[in-house]
Amino acid sequence: MTESTSTTVTPTFADFDLHPGLLQAVADTGYTTPTPIQAQAIPVVISGRDVMGAAQTGTGKTAAFSLPLLHRLMPFANASASPARHPVRALVLAPTRELADQVYESVATYAKYVPLRAAVVFGGVDIGPQRETLRKGCEILIATPGRLLDHIEQKNVNLSQVSVFVLDEADRMLDMGFLPDLERIVRLLPAQRQTLLFSATFSNEIRKLARDSVKDPVEISVAARNATADTVTQIVYQVSSDEKQAAVVHLVKSKGLKQVIVFSNTKVGTARLARQLERDGVRAESIHGDKSQQERMKALEAFKAGELEVLVATDVAARGLDVAGVPCVINYDLPFNPEDYVHRIGRTGRAGAEGEAISLFTGDEERFLLDIEKLIKDKITRGQLSLPPRTRSSSASSSGSSRREGRTRWTPSSPPVDEFFLRPYEPSPAQSSSGAADKAALSRTAPGRKSVGVLLGGTKRPYPEQTQQS
């Protein structure tokens, strides 16, 4: 059985009776009023109940579990240097490297005034430094499932004292095929623990997973299932395939956008689009699954620092990518899975800020648009996009599908033919005389012996004994 909480919003974080060190860290971030998911989840988590929390992406789910988690661990806080005094007491699982790293940054920010240690482990980087960090001890461990199992197999981490288990973006973990890894990790955890499931959406599969991992949870939902944020303005433009790149350039330049996330469905398309945008004078970089973790983190940091205007990404970056002040996201391709649309546009309009979600689609992609509208139960505004003629021409030229107007395609003329190469073969006089000399030399060879050099055509010199006879 689950129960639902009321939607009463607590005015300030101080009303939660959080530890003073945590309240000071929250004040440093500039936040004073909790979001709806935080207002409902924090008191329940502090009380020790299991939670299933569903909220729109960008509404503060990370703080909704990290703040009460840190508060509950304060009785174990200590400044001892001994690793034995810092066992893992809280485990947070995230589906992607980027989300795991950002959850870690949030936890570290809130814990900066309290003696609790946090660590993060994920794949794509050297496991050595992570091993050393774990051996020093940490109370809060944030991890991706695969890398956590690597450390467990190498006996770098012990989960026997975990009292709080958090699954962040649980639906995404199922989409990425992590269910066997999750089941294996859950079996290693103590039976007596608090379990928190937070996600932007709750599918039937998530509810089935919850039945096996949570006990009598409080179900918290601050928005309708698969709903989009009211602060995000949505619009779609129908264009041809050849005009998509030009449309992105036009939108970025005409709107004066400085930080835009553009989503593409494929790794190859993501890399190609970033290169094309660079050629069109737009500072862009791509992140996708084939890039190393260092390359992805470098691109993300450059985007956060304002060094890039456009970050082109696959859905690997759609979950948990938290960049403050992103004014707009563009769907270069409509996602195949309509739920991914909800997560993509959740990268803008975060924490109550205004945002814009622009989608481009061709006639062949209209069925994806209809699936999205059916999921979110809303009609997305259709717009008309007028591209400058020169932009249209350059777009067609860059795609290689057409030639510039007014130019005649140059075709090379046939090369001249030398009649010499058409004549039948005729041996030259020098070759004829050489052949006669070879025959004469062969006739002077001793009976029963043949000149190997003559047979191979490599010499006309007689054997030494032949020279003596002559």
pLDDT at residue 360 tops 90: yes
How far is CA 462 from its chain centroid? 77
Q: What is the CATH number of the domain that holds 134?
A: 3.40.50.300
Give yes or no for residue 415 having a pLDDT over 90: no
For residue 70 the two structure tokens come to 């840190």
pLDDT tens digits for 193-234? 999 998 766 777 777 777 778 888 998 887 666 667 778 899
The answer to whether residues 244 and 373 belong to one domain is yes
140 and 14 in a common domain: yes
Residue 421: inside a domain: no
Which pLDDT does position 32 carry in this prediction? 83
Same domain, 211 and 252: no
Classify residue 408: in a domain, yes or no: no
What pLDDT is stored for residue 189 in this prediction? 95
SS3 of 105-136: the string is: HHHHHHCCCCCCCEEEECCCCCHHHHHHHHHH
44 in any annotated domain = yes
**In this predicted structure, which of 154-163, 298-307, 411-420 has the lowest mean pLDDT?**
411-420
106 part of a folded domain = yes
Q: Residue 408's pLDDT band (boundaries 50, 70, 90)? A: very low
> Domain range for residue 180?
3-221
Range 126-152 average pLDDT:
96
Instruction: Assess if residue 51 is contained within a domain.
Output: yes
Tens of pLDDT, residues 306-322: 899 999 998 865 555 66
Give the mean pLDDT of the chain: 81
- Taking the whole predicted model, whether its pTM rises above 0.75 is answered as no
Question: What is the identity of the amino acid at 154?
Answer: Q
pLDDT band, residue 381 (cuts 50/70/90) = very high
Could you read off the pLDDT of 326-350 as tens digits, one per residue? 889 999 999 998 888 888 888 887 7
Determine the angle formed by the axes of helices 145-153 and 127-136, rounding to 10 degrees: 70
Residue 447, domain member (yes or no): no
Which band of pLDDT confidence, cut at 50, 70 and 90, is reported for residue 395?
very low
- Give dist(CA 98, CA 317) in Å, integer: 7
pLDDT at res. 164: 97
Please give the residue that has the higher pLDDT: either 264 or 402: 264
Alpha-carbon distances of 332 from 99, 238, 357, 380, 401, rounded to whole Å: 23, 11, 11, 16, 19
Angstrom distances, CA of residue 310 to CA of 261, 264, 348, 358, 388: 6, 12, 14, 14, 21
Same domain assignment for residues 191 and 295: no
pLDDT value, residue 103 = 93
Domain boundary pick from 366, 399, 432: 399
Domains in the chain: how many in total? 2
CB 236 within 8 A of CB 359: yes
Residue 337 has a pLDDT of 86
Q: What is the pLDDT of residue 404?
A: 41
- The residues near 151 (Cβ < 8 Å, ≥ 6 apart) are 121, 127, 130, 131, 134, 143, 157
- Distance set, CA 89 to CA 18, 29, 156, 211, 354 (Å): 19, 26, 15, 23, 38
Task: Answer whether residue 430 is part of any domain.
Answer: no
User: Is 203 found in the same domain as 59?
Assistant: yes
User: By the 8 A CB rule, do 352 and 34 touch?
Assistant: no
Q: Based on the domain organization, do 136 and 211 belong to the same domain?
A: yes
Query: Does 9 have pLDDT greater than 50?
Result: no
For strands 90-93 and 218-221, give the pairing: unpaired
Mean pLDDT of 167-185: 84
Query: Domain check: are 88 and 201 in the same one?
Result: yes
Q: Alpha-carbon distance 383 to 389, whole Å?
A: 18
